[in-house]
Amino acid sequence: MKPKQRTALITIASVWILTATLLLVATNAFAQSRPSSGNIYSQIQLFSEVLQKLKQNYVTELSDEELIEAAIKGMLNSTDPHTNYFTADQFKDFTTSTRGSFGGLGIQIDKIGDYITVVSPIEGTPAYRMGITAGDKIVKVDGVSIVGVTTDESIKKMRGDVGTEVIITVSRPGIAGFIDFTIVRENIKINSVPYSFKMDNGAGYIRISQFNENTTADLRTSLAELEKEGITGLIIDLRFNPGGLLDQAVDTVNEFIGYNKLVVETKGRIRQDALYTRYNSKQRNYPIIVLVNEASASASEIFAGSLQDWDKGLVVGKNTFGKGSVQQLIPLSNNNGIKITTSYYYIKSGRCIHKMSNDKLLTGKEVTPEELEKENEDTHSQIYYTSKGREVYGGGGITPDIIIDNDLLTRFGVDLRRKNVFFNYAIDYLVNHDHKVSKNPIITAEIMNEFLEYAKTQDISYTAADLDSARSFIESSIKSELVRKVHGDLASYKISISQDNQLQKAISLFDRFKTLEEMFIYAEEFKPKK
């Protein structure tokens, strides 16, 4: 008997078996709790009736498994964008990124409306190097539209064997037309602290890219090395950090606030939990700046907000993403699983960092500019207080003590990045110069002209105005790529940040103020006038 024939024969029986099972579950649930509205028993009967009629009358044969799975997904999707159903393989893969390595392009994505949208590129990955950035909407994969396609299906299209190419087409806010990125897939390994070094002004710099199981250990190692070098201050860079493990966020905060201090509470309908720091830590008296942006989410918001609440760090940059809901992974009997939003995060001051408009956007609902403006106004009308009595704002992410905008790439700069012009030019240059370059090479007029001629061979056109506006970026990028190939990623990164407006302004605060208290007083000038 063919599989389809067998399915047809058991269809009616399976519907009635399913009905009996659902009714039994409903009866048990009804006996244990009183539904807030309606009668769950009759609703399950209605569901069973619809399923039976659909199976009996639909024009083609339908799969019981697919129908039930669709019903489950629909039920979960009616709640919020973070409550999801996973097949066995998806459930197994879901936690991979928190264990430090996985295959792919190196981007954190979510579905906003019909579009798969980049939440954050992962530092050091092929997507990051090519210039994929937060907010990019992925419209095609290898020329095939993925508008309206599920997140899971989109991920399948983007994954592939290591070393193979995939073309990602994105729509970027502020840039007309689509942009194609040809990216070579890699085995993605996440280093939670990819960069840590002492800067020229004596302050230390630590970049935390994600909160995975290694973050606390990596942070401790970096702090010990920097403090041995005698740093006079510290920048902790959480920009584009999508979050990760809650316990790691708490333990990293512990390094700066000490033992038995409240970091975050999770409050839900069923239970509430309070997470406190667990161990003694070294007293750190140097000023600390926490750098955030719109792609800093979840655990990184808890970290930034906690240092702000305990007056242990000055938060600068842009308002964070506002992902303050807590999900619980629950395995099912068939090795599938579900992820359910169970509570919200509330940091020490009492602030809930969740931004409700994000849930609407992620489920495809329209949010008008007026609604966003009102949400922002409401956020700044909710006043909370730090441990020393400083005013901070509640809801809608973490509001920095000092707002600092970042520069955006021009279209000319985007084209140079996405076509790998800097990378390829550096290879040719080093072949012609015996792979010798200093750690701080000078980009002469001859090198610049040679680079621009090379760019023209890659079908990149530009005007004098384009070149004028992008010159500093181009010089820094050439220098950074040359140094990367000879002296490594860290030496290259130190050069690239010279063009980082947010970071450079944060660094300048150490030149003006010697203590965190002085920085707090200065930050008061940026508070909205009442």
Which residues, 6 or more positions from 133, have their beta carbon under 8 angstroms from its beta carbon?
118, 121, 172
384, 308: one domain: yes
* Residue with the larger pLDDT of the pair 506 and 113: 506
Active-site pick, 55, 111, 261, 323: 323
Q: Is residue 88 part of a domain?
A: no
CATH code at 165? 2.30.42.10
Specify which residues 391 forms β-bridges with. Answer: 385
DSSP notation for 115-128: EEEEEEEPTTSHHH
Specify which residues 276 forms β-bridges with. Answer: 262
Q: Is residue 460 part of a domain?
A: yes
Show which of 189, 212, 246 is a domain's final residue.
Answer: 189
* Residue with the larger pLDDT of the pair 95 and 180: 180
152, 278: one domain: no
- Model confidence at 336: pLDDT above 80: yes
The mean predicted confidence, pLDDT, of the chain is: 86
- Model confidence at 13: pLDDT above 60: no
C-alpha distances in Å from residue 9, one per residue of 4, 5, 12, 55, 63:
9, 6, 7, 12, 12
- Residue 474 confidence class, pLDDT cut points 50, 70, 90: very high
271, 319: one domain: yes
CATH code at 297? 3.90.226.10
The alpha-helical segments, DSSP class H, found in 142-232 are 151-158, 215-228
- Model confidence at 328: pLDDT above 90: no
Tens digit of pLDDT for each residue in 201-214? 999 999 999 999 99
Classify 327 as helix, strand or coil.
strand
Cα gap 174→230, rounded to integer Å: 43
> Any idea what DSSP says for residue 99?
G
Mean pLDDT throughout 112-119? 80
| Contact predicate 335/284, CB 8 Å | no
- Model confidence at 149: pLDDT above 50: yes
- Residue 410 confidence class, pLDDT cut points 50, 70, 90: confident
What one-letter code names the amino acid at 39? N
- Model confidence at 15: pLDDT above 70: no
Classify 281 as helix, strand or coil.
coil
- Residue 484 confidence class, pLDDT cut points 50, 70, 90: confident
477 flagged as catalytic: no
pTM of the predicted model, to two decimals? 0.76
Q: Is residue 386 part of a domain?
A: yes
Tens digit of pLDDT for each residue in 32-80? 444 444 588 888 889 999 999 999 999 999 998 899 889 998 899 888 8
Tens digit of pLDDT for each residue in 352-374? 989 888 888 777 778 888 888 88
43, 180: one domain: no
323 flagged as catalytic: yes
Mean pLDDT throughout 227-247? 94
* Residue with the larger pLDDT of the pair 197 and 271: 197
Predicted pLDDT of residue 90:
75
142, 158: one domain: yes
381, 516: one domain: yes
Show which of 128, 159, 189 is a domain's final residue.
Answer: 189
**Structural domain of 41:** 3-62
- Reported as half-sphere exposure (CB side, CA atoms, 13 A), residue 384 has a value of 23
| Contact predicate 210/190, CB 8 Å | yes
298 flagged as catalytic: yes
- Please state which of the ranges 20-24, 213-217, 439-443, 493-497 shows the lowest mean pLDDT: 20-24
What one-letter code names the amino acid at 280? N
157, 16: one domain: no
| The total number of residues written for the chain in this structure | 530
Q: Is residue 154 part of a domain?
A: yes
Which residues, 6 or more positions from 429, have their beta carbon under 8 angstroms from its beta carbon?
447, 450, 482
Mean pLDDT throughout 299-328? 94
Cα gap 154→146, rounded to integer Å: 7
134, 28: one domain: no
**CA nearest 393: which of 422, 424, 420, 353?**
353
Q: Is residue 355 part of a domain?
A: no
Number of separate domains in the chain: 4
Active-site pick, 309, 359, 401, 415: 309
Q: Is residue 361 part of a domain?
A: no
295, 444: one domain: no
Q: Is residue 389 part of a domain?
A: yes
What is the rounded end-to-end Cα distance, in angstroms, of the chain? 78
Active-site pick, 120, 298, 325, 492: 298
- Model confidence at 346: pLDDT above 90: yes
Show which of 189, 204, 235 is a domain's final residue.
Answer: 189
The two counts, helices (H) then strands (E), for the chain are: 18, 21
Mean pLDDT throughout 288-298? 95
Q: Is residue 357 part of a domain?
A: no
276, 382: one domain: yes
- Model confidence at 20: pLDDT above 80: no
DSSP notation for 4-25: HHHHHHHHHHHHHHHHHHHHHH
DSSP notation for 458-492: TT----HHHHHHHHHHHHHHHHHHHHHHHH-HHHH
What one-letter code names the amino acid at 49? E
394, 303: one domain: yes
Cα gap 100→484, rounded to integer Å: 23
**Which burial class, exposed, middle or buried, applies to 119 when counting CB atoms under 10 A from its CB (0-12, 13-18, 19+)?**
buried
| Contact predicate 194/121, CB 8 Å | no
**Which burial class, exposed, middle or buried, applies to 243 when counting CB atoms under 10 A from its CB (0-12, 13-18, 19+)?**
buried
Mean pLDDT throughout 299-324? 96
- Please state which of the ranges 126-140, 266-280, 497-511 shows the lowest mean pLDDT: 126-140
| Contact predicate 327/79, CB 8 Å | no
Main-chain phi, psi angles of 272, to 5 degrees: -130, 140
21, 153: one domain: no
